[in-house]
């Protein structure tokens, strides 16, 4: 009896230990891409039998995991930087960042300077923008998020110039904060914002430099605050990773990208 159990245990150990690593793909990184990637990976798994493990943890983690060999592919929700040229980027989709206010906020489209003034604390009441005489709740993202980096870069701001009233982590937290406060302003991924606004969350997306924050504007390339969603790799891609990249750029998957309000990259 006991010997049988040991035998079974050894079998299990042998199976897990000797499984070839190439039958499994590990993808880590951006929390913006992760939900989309998880669904696409599931379909890929069903089609090819290759196991795909998707873990979220920010673009920074995607980069460092690929560098350390902990992941086959890293999800990075921005373009690669100068010091990241040792990695190969594969653009899979496009996304934008939308400024959002509460649906009941009547404020007119804001200019670049007004947005900068709001975020640096120089403009701190809606009355100066034709709204109610109430202080502006400035919602900002925590350090290390690519959404924050992109926002700061677009408006030419340093993080220590920003005077936030609320610092958030995930997009969802930003949505909840703005939807729960008629006097708040924040910025989140367009995909997330459009999705929530379409599902009766009281949000309004502000146009940016005269361009409405919509997927159509993003598709035409007009929207000024947009970013590429990347998968990064290092060195030679293995066959599974290659197959996955081909699978991701297959037009048949476009509807899944759209379901998450991203635009699939056209190749």
Show the binding pattern over residues 180-199: x = contacts other proteins (CB under 8 A), - = does not: xx-xx---------------
Which backbone phi and psi does 121 adopt, to 5 degrees?
85, 5
Nearer CB in complex with other proteins: 33/177: 177
Cα end-to-end span (Å), the chain = 60
With beta carbons less than 8 A apart as the criterion, state whether 197 and 205 touch. yes
Decide: is 178 part of the binding site for other proteins (CB under 8 A).
Answer: no
Q: How far is the CB of 63 from other proteins (least distance, A)?
A: 8
> Number of C-alpha atoms within 13 angstroms, CB side, residue 143?
3
DSSP, residue by residue, 216-257: HHHHTT--SSEEEEEEEE-SSPPHHHHHHHHHHT-GGGHHHH
Only segment of 6-14, 36-44, 106-114, 177-185 that touches other proteins (CB under 8 A): 177-185
Q: Which residues contact 236 (CB under 8 A, 6 or more apart)?
A: none
Residues 143-162 that bind other proteins (CB under 8 A): 143-145, 158-160
Decide: is 236 part of the binding site for other proteins (CB under 8 A).
Answer: no
210 DSSP β-pair partners: none
Residues 67-126 that bind other proteins (CB under 8 A): none
Q: How far is the CB of 134 from other proteins (least distance, A)?
A: 7
- Provide the binding-site residues for other proteins, judged by CB under 8 A: 31, 56-61, 63-64, 134-135, 137, 142-145, 158-160, 164-169, 173, 176-177, 180-181, 183-184
């Amino acid at each position: 009896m006991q010997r049988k159990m040991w035998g079974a245990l050894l079998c299990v150990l042998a199976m897990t230990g000797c499984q070839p690593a190439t039958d499994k793909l590990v993808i880590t990184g951006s929390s913006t891409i992760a939900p989309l990637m998880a669904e696409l990976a599931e379909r890929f798994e069903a089609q090819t039998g290759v196991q795909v493990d998707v873990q979220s943890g920010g673009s920074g983690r995607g980069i460092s995991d690929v560098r350390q060999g902990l992941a086959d592919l890293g999800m990075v929700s921005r373009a690669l930087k100068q010091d990241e040229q040792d990695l190969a980027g594969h653009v899979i989709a496009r996304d934008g960042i939308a400024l959002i206010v509460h649906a009941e906020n009547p404020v007119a489209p804001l200019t670049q300077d007004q947005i900068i003034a709001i975020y640096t604390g120089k403009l701190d009441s809606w009355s100066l923008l034709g709204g109610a005489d109430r202080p502006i709740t400035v919602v900002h993202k925590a350090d290390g998020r690519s959404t924050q980096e992109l926002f700061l870069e677009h408006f030419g701001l340093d993080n220590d110039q920003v005077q936030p009233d609320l610092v958030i982590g995930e997009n969802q937290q930003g949505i909840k904060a703005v939807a729960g406060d008629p006097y708040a302003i924040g910025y989140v991924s367009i995909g997330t914002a459009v999705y929530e606004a379409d599902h009766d969350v009281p949000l309004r997306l502000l146009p940016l430099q005269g361009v409405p924050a919509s997927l159509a504007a993003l598709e035409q390339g007009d929207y000024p605050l947009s970013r590429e969603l990347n998968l990064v790799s290092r060195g030679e891609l293995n066959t599974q990773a290659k197959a996955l990249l081909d699978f991701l750029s297959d037009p048949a998957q476009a509807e899944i990208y759209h379901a998450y309000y991203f635009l699939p990259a056209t190749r």
